Amino acid sequence: MKRMSLIVLLVILSLTLMACQLEFSFPKLLQAGKSAPTAPATAVTEERPVVKPTPTPKRIVVAGKVLDAEEEQLLVSIYERVNPSVVNIRVTKKVKLGEEFRFPNIVPELPFATPPEEFFQEGVGSGFVWDEEGHIVTNYHVVEGADEVEVTFYNGDSTLASVVGTDPDSDVAVIKVDELPQGVHPVDLGDSDQVKVGQRAIAIGNPFGLQGTMTVGIISGLGRVLRPGTTQFSIPEVIQTDAAINPGNSGGPLLDSQGRVIGINTAIKSPVRASAGVGFAVPINLVKKVVPSLIERGYYEYPWLGIRGMSVTRAIAEEFDLPVKRGALVIEVIRDSPADKAGLQGAKKEVKFRGEPLGIGGDIIIAIDGQEVRKFEDLLVYLVRNTTVGQEVTLTVIRDGEEKEIKVKLGKRPKVIKE
Amino acid sequence: MSKRWLLLTIASLLVLTGCALVSGTARILHTAISITPTPTLVPTPTTAPVTSGVVDTEEQIIINVYKKAAPSVVNITTRILQWDFFFGVYPEEGAGSGFVYDKEGHIVTNYHVIEGAQSIEVSLGEDIVVPAKVVGADPPNDLAVLKVEVPPDKLVPVELGSSSNLQVGQRAIAIGNPFGRFERTLTVGVISALNRTLKLEGGRMIRHLIQTDAAINPGNSGGPLLDSHGRVIGVNTAIVSPSRASAGVGFAIPVDTVKRVVPELIAYGRYRHPWLGILGYSITPGFAKRLGLPVEEGILVAKVYRNSPAAKAGIRGARKELIIGNRTVLVGGDIITAIDGHPLKSVDELDAYLEDNTRVGQEVELELIRRGKTIKIKAVLEEEPRQ
């Protein structure tokens, strides 16, 4: 009976569906396709009790249920407190036929056999409420190219959102809804500089379209560098976690054991499009810098040096008899960039190193403003953390075996660097 | 491609009907890979309790759960005869998990673990490998009960918990036989969400599922999901993953369903699903507008089965056909808006209510709209006929 009624339904209502065709597309990173709203999870409390890892007795009674030990109770209360701040984001993109693919015309008897001129692609991500004005933070790749952004809150309320600002370089975007439902509050922000490997990491999001999913693990690594794929620049100080992060989790918060946001779940490393226990989150301290600018101006300006290069490794230093064993080797100086104007020098010749071409003979940066540069990422980290556009930095470089100080007035990072 | 189309369309239809559903089918966890029967590993008897200070409280809780529940978890190996054009009939082995339900030797597992099996073997550990026979099965709830002939002193029944007051964030502990090769494997996570509805391979809808990030893999099917007291809260059944391995998104049938279904499987060999005997359309605002219906949600009865409880109660099906677009809609029947005072939005909600809240022989009160007037009708539910 159930199956028959389903088929009857299918036939009858297929007419009403013409406008919206769900197709699974996987543009990049963690966007999930073809999902449907899921049952609202558990009841969530209205107030937001401040959760502290309270020194609790061994047995706690919650809603008549005896729970063991503090850890379990802690996670339950974090979910109750934070889940209302997490949203499901559904984006629709108009795609012209030919740009993606065409449905084969193999079911001529059905009314939808004739493909429409353009159809809609759907993607699903997560996000979290930033402030009482209705700003919601998510990943740039979740809302990239969206024609329509729909936000669904934990209680099932849904509303359209507008994109306020985007920053492809950190993969962060801010969207806005006119009004937050009652009981929905901004998240508490943590401090990603204080995060330590081994500490608990909790993700709440929308994996495979399953809204309100909590997954728990630990911080597996810190200081990872992530290249989002939407940009030529990398994100420094990315947090690695083994909490299950899957397509659809993108843009959702990674929390510490106080329920404070320490990162935005953004990417995974896996041979399949599913968690293999290696997930990455953009650190909240970078997000804290970027988001106010996105709200105010719609974009974020990064200070820019204008070099390409790589880390000096022991193997490279020995092979080419470099004067230092650590540092950032400049391979290319972008023309008219701040580094170019300050006179930094790129590679003078190309050699083969382990079968790969490598430009050597350029400056080796060993410090910036007195801070040691041991690998190329250190430059990126320093610039993103400590500097602004227009600021002057002092680079300590090794050129032709001699140490030299070069002052560079930082410029504005361009959207695209021409190859 | 057409199959995929259909699937996607069904998914979107269900969205329209207001039903909570995860689109795409979930994977059932039966391992159909041919494997050599693994030698029964003896769970090493833990000797002295671990001294405190070495192991913290959290760890000790998990250790205690394993000690308590692992002896109840069994390994199920099935033999299914497959037919192949080149090789003719050949046996294929499958593996799953299960747990001891009582001292009489009843074992609970998933239906899909033993579906189509010619022979079933159950390994209880300690070198007890015995044949098992199927006592009863309920495909819609993906549950089955097996029976083994084993002296009661060798059987350690599980302690059943309750799934009605679970909370997201609570610990979830799975014991099972992942990949059919590693029996009594312990995996630990949390409850990630509650009350999920999934459509499994084969089109079966399962409701009220518990979602967990404890690693659930093929072969875990039928094994218990436990709380931090070692009580069964669910039966691990499905995963959502693009590969055939855990992505941290696993699903368990809640133990309250087990408590409802298993006693009937033991007593009757089947679960007697209450049945009303109608076919209908779920009403959506668009559907209501096109047909000029007085309500925007509810069930428009299209057909009433002869001699069904609905027929005996006088519920009326469609009186005429209407062409909308190029499809025929059966209209003019009663509109069901509530059952026992619970408002109904869709056929799915009616199915869910009957399944969860009623028994065969029970009387239900239906609220109907007939010719614009609201009336109430009582019907006595019967067992759903097998086709």
List pLDDT tens digits, range A262-283: 999 999 998 888 999 999 999 9
Mean pLDDT for the stretch of residues B186-205: 87
The answer to whether the B1-8+61-271 and B274-383 domains have the same CATH topology is no
CB within 8 A of B325, min separation 6: which ones?
A15, A111
pLDDT exceeds 60 at position A243: yes
Which is the catalytic residue, given A35, A85, A192, A250? A250
Q: Which two tokens stand for residue B44?
A: 């090493």
**CB distance B183 to B44 below 8 Å:** no
B57 — contact with chain A (CB < 8 Å)? yes
Identify the CATH class of B1-8+61-271.
mainly beta
pLDDT the model gives residue A7: 41
Q: Quick one: what percent of chain B has pLDDT higher than 90?
A: 65
Confidence of residue B359 (pLDDT cuts 50, 70, 90): very high
pLDDT the model gives residue A38: 29
Confidence of residue A25 (pLDDT cuts 50, 70, 90): very low
Instruction: Give the integer Cα–Cα distance in Å for A66 and B57.
Output: 16
Q: Which ipTM did the prediction report?
A: 0.74
* Phi, psi angle pair for A41, to nearest 5°: -70, -140
B142 in active site = yes
B102 in active site = no
Confidence of residue B29 (pLDDT cuts 50, 70, 90): low
Length of chain A: 419
Mean pLDDT for the stretch of residues A54-83: 66
Q: Is the dihedral of CA B340, B345, B346, B349 positive or negative?
A: negative
Rg of the Cα trace of chain A?
25
Q: Which two tokens stand for residue A108?
A: 């001529």
In this structure, of A10-24, A374-388, B229-243, B309-323, the range with the lowest mean pLDDT score is A10-24
pLDDT the model gives residue B203: 66
**CB distance A192 to A285 below 8 Å:** yes
Task: Count CA atoms closer than 13 A to A313's CA, side-chain side.
Answer: 6
Instruction: Give the integer Cα–Cα distance in Å for A74 and A97.
Output: 50
Instruction: Give the integer Cα–Cα distance in Å for B184 and B92.
Output: 23
Pick the residue of B170, B241, B276, B351 with the most A CBs within 10 A to test the interface with A by mutation: B170
DSSP secondary structure string for all residues of B60-110: HHHHHHHHHHGGGEEEEEEEEEEEETTTEEEEEEEEEEEEE-STT-EEEE-
Instruction: Give the integer Cα–Cα distance in Å for B146 and B136.
Output: 7
Torsion angle defined by CA atoms of residues B110, B113, B115 and B119, in that order, rounded to the nearest 10 degrees = -120
Classify domain B274-383 at the CATH topology level: Pdz3 Domain (2.30.42)
Q: Which two tokens stand for residue A66?
A: 């005896």
Domain ranges of chain B: 1-8+61-271, 274-383
Element (H, E) at A223: strand A213-226
pLDDT the model gives residue B83: 77
pLDDT exceeds 50 at position B112: yes
Mean pLDDT for the stretch of residues A302-330: 92
Mean pLDDT (chain B) is 85
Confidence of residue A119 (pLDDT cuts 50, 70, 90): low
DSSP secondary structure string for all residues of B348-375: HHHHHHHHHH--TT-EEEEEEEETTEEE
CA–CA min distance B386, chain A (Å): 10
CA-to-CA separations, A59 to A14, A43, A63, A72, A301, in angstroms, rounded: 53, 22, 13, 10, 51
Which is the catalytic residue, given A167, A171, A242, A340? A171
Pick the residue of A24, A208, A220, A257 with the most B CBs within 10 A to test the interface with B by mutation: A208
Q: Give the pairing of strands B278-283 and B298-304.
A: antiparallel
Chain B residues 314-343 with a CB less than 8 Å from chain A: 324-327, 329
Chain A residues 65-124 with a CB less than 8 Å from chain B: 65-69, 71-72, 74-80, 83, 103-104, 106-107, 111-112
In this structure, of A92-106, A153-167, A249-263, the range with the lowest mean pLDDT score is A92-106
Q: How many CB atoms lie within 10 A of CB A354?
A: 8
State the pTM of this model.
0.77
